[in-house]
Amino acid sequence: MSSIDLYVDSAGVATVTIGSAEQTLQPITAQQRAQLANVIEQIAQDPSIKGTVLRVTSKAAVFPPAELMELSERRVTAVVARDFAREWQRSLRRFETCGKPIAAVLTGSILGGSLDLALACHYRVIQDDTDTALGYPHARIGLLPWGGGTQRLPRLIGVKQALPLLLKGTVLTPAEALKLGVVHAVASADDCGEVARNWVLNDAQAAQPWDRKGFRVPGGAGPLAEFANEQFMIGAAQLRKQAKETQPALLAIMSAVYEGTICGFEAALAIESNYFGKVMSVAVTGDRMRAALAIAETHIANSGARAS
């Protein structure tokens, strides 16, 4: 399933479908990224397109993604790894700043790359079933999200809510995702598309909160925020208690959130990608990924079911 479909209806609502129940979107392949980029340009430039419904369907992800394994095996420098992340970040920025509203319809395991895409949309509806879940599990295998997740998530739901999710690699049910404010609506399989389409036609806004004037991270940010002591001072100490010295990604996630939420969005993305580069450039990250992959492959061999 390598091509991305674009269909425009008579009301000017474009529908783009990426992924399927058989395909994991973690990560989104280089080919898919290129196709998405083309599609976004089409949408941005076509005056008959009012807005877009982006249907994202993903199978349970196998960790870690092959592209990262390859970077690790090549023993890339932090700069090379950083640039890898920057490329994906840039595509997503184009999504959310193209000037046309995009509503995401989410089905299946929305983890990693598919969640990056979802958060770069202006509106999110998630399908209400037991196979659908959403989250960034990266911390569990010594990684951090590199598609802007460490910056979009806190800007949506606040640092106090977002940081623990990122540090634990929590995966949320549709109801939990709605309650926290990561998604805007939950709907049945039959209704999702309609909910998204209605938003495009009636409520659409083509700008993310963080791209609007006067935006402040909800609940505050930085060392003087009310939660700063708990999340950062005590939080950093607890990393040592839990993780000893062997999980650079956890400290990297905490620092990306601490430093990034103090800054404007572009600087925040740069900070995230730098910490990603830093984590990828240390040997222990590669070791953990290989171990996680071995375990995942065993699971798949044994059950054929979801591996995360």
Partner 1 sequence: MDAFIYDHVRTPRGKGRSDGSLHQITPTQLAAQTLMALRERNQLDTSLIEDVILGCVSPVGEQGANLGRIAAMTAQYSESVPGQQLNRFCASALEAVNLGAALVKSGEAQAVVAGGVESMSRVALGADGGPWYCDPQVTWNSYYAPQGIGADLIATLDGYSREDVDAFALESQRRAAHAWEQGYFDRSVVPVRDVIGDVGLARDEHRRPQTTMADLGKLKAAFVTQGETFGFDAVAMARYPEVTAINHVHTGGNSSGIVDGAAAVLIGNEAFGKATGLKARARIKGFCSIGSEPTIMLTGPAPCSQRLLHKLGMRAADIDLYEINEAFASVALRFMREMQIDHARTNVNGGAIALGHPLGATGAMILGTVLDELERRDLSTGLVTLCAAAGMATATVIERV
Nearer to partner 1, 234 or 295 (CB): 234
Rg (CA), the chain: 19
Nearer to partner 1, 95 or 232 (CB): 232
Helix then strand then coil, in percent of the chain rounded to 5, is 55, 15, 30
Nearer to partner 1, 54 or 257 (CB): 257
Residues 95-108 as b/e (b if ≥16 CB within 10 A, e otherwise) read bbebebbbbbbbbb
> Residue 27, exposed/middle/buried by CB under 10 A (0-12, 13-18, 19+)?
buried
User: From the list 202, 212, 241, 301, which residue makes contact with partner 1 (rule: CB under 8 A)?
Assistant: 241
Rounded Cα distance, 6 and 155, in Å: 30
Number of Cβ within 10 Å of residue 217's Cβ equals 21
Binding status of residue 164 toward partner 1 by CB under 8 A: no
For the record, the structure tokens of 240 come out as 């040592």
Nearer to partner 1, 258 or 276 (CB): 258
Q: Which stretch binds partner 1 (CB under 8 A): 19-27, 57-65, 113-121, 232-240?
A: 232-240
Nearer to partner 1, 35 or 255 (CB): 255
For the record, the structure tokens of 10 come out as 């008579």
Q: Which residues lie closer than 8 Å to 52 by C-beta, 6 or more apart?
A: 13, 14, 15, 16, 43, 100, 101, 102, 103, 200
User: From the list 14, 68, 118, 254, which residue makes contact with partner 1 (rule: CB under 8 A)?
Assistant: 254
Closest separation between CB of residue 73 and partner 1, Å? 28
Site residues for partner 1, window 258-277 (CB under 8 A)? 258-259
Q: Which stretch binds partner 1 (CB under 8 A): 24-32, 33-41, 148-156, 224-232?
A: 224-232
**Contact status, residue 139 vs residue 166, Cβ threshold 8 Å:** yes
Binding status of residue 150 toward partner 1 by CB under 8 A: no
Residue with tokens 């984590």, as numbered in its chain: 279
Nearer to partner 1, 212 or 241 (CB): 241
Nearer to partner 1, 32 or 247 (CB): 247
Binding track over 177-216 against partner 1, x by CB under 8 A: ----------------------------------------
Residues 39-53 as b/e (b if ≥16 CB within 10 A, e otherwise) read bbeebeeeeebbbbb
User: From the list 11, 30, 175, 234, which residue makes contact with partner 1 (rule: CB under 8 A)?
Assistant: 234
User: From the list 232, 285, 286, 306, which residue makes contact with partner 1 (rule: CB under 8 A)?
Assistant: 232
Q: Which stretch binds partner 1 (CB under 8 A): 23-31, 81-89, 210-218, 254-262?
A: 254-262
Rounded Cα distance, 272 and 276, in Å: 6
Number of residues that bind partner 1 (CB under 8 A): 22
> Which residues of the shown chain bind partner 1 in the complex (CB under 8 A)?
222-224, 228-229, 232-242, 244, 251, 254-255, 258-259
